[in-house]
Amino acid sequence: MEARFNLFENEFGSRFAKRFAGAGMLVHESSLPKSTQELVSLRASQINGCGHCIDMHVKEAAAAGESAVRLHLVAAWRESTVFTEAERAALALAEEGTRLADAHQGVSDETWAQVRKHYDDDQTAALVSLVALINAANRLAVITHQRGGSYEAGMFTAALAD
């Protein structure tokens, strides 16, 4: 299946993509641990079935030193022993924030309490922003049929430098 549309080849799409990527860089530069950022992005992308984003976040995490075991277990993090309590809170927020339509309450009070236990105000703001951004990125990529498999670590940062 070929991509339907390339946002970067359209004037409006390119302007939007640059602003969207700028918001992503703000989160990337936050004090939220980089490993947590990649795990959260990976989990939301798995739920949303976004091959392009799964490809990107697996490769970026691996390049940053994340273990293959942890990357493989993100999909079953609740049944795994390799994630910290803080990471588990972030992954729960990612799941509940991604599956808003599946629960009448959205993000549970229990999950929110765990997030606040492990993350300060700036990290919480970055985490909430990240969940919103990765879900939007998943939708952009899935709608336009961006496929996974060809991403190389560092491509996103290099594209922003252009």
Q: What does the CA dihedral 25, 26, 29, 33 come to, rounded to 10 degrees?
A: -100
pLDDT in tens, 107-123: 999 999 999 999 999 99
The two three-digit tokens of residue 97, written as one number: 């924030």
Rounded-to-integer distance, Cα 120 and Cα 63, Å: 27
pTM of the model: 0.92
Percent of all residues in the chain with a pLDDT value above 70, rounded to a whole number = 96
For residue 102, count CB atoms less than 10 angstroms from its CB and return exposed for 0-12, middle for 13-18, buried for 19 or more: exposed
pLDDT in tens, 130-140: 999 999 999 99
How many Cα atoms sit within 13 Å of 16 on the Cβ side? 11
pLDDT in tens, 39-88: 999 999 999 999 999 999 999 999 999 999 999 999 999 999 999 999 99
pLDDT of residue 74: 98
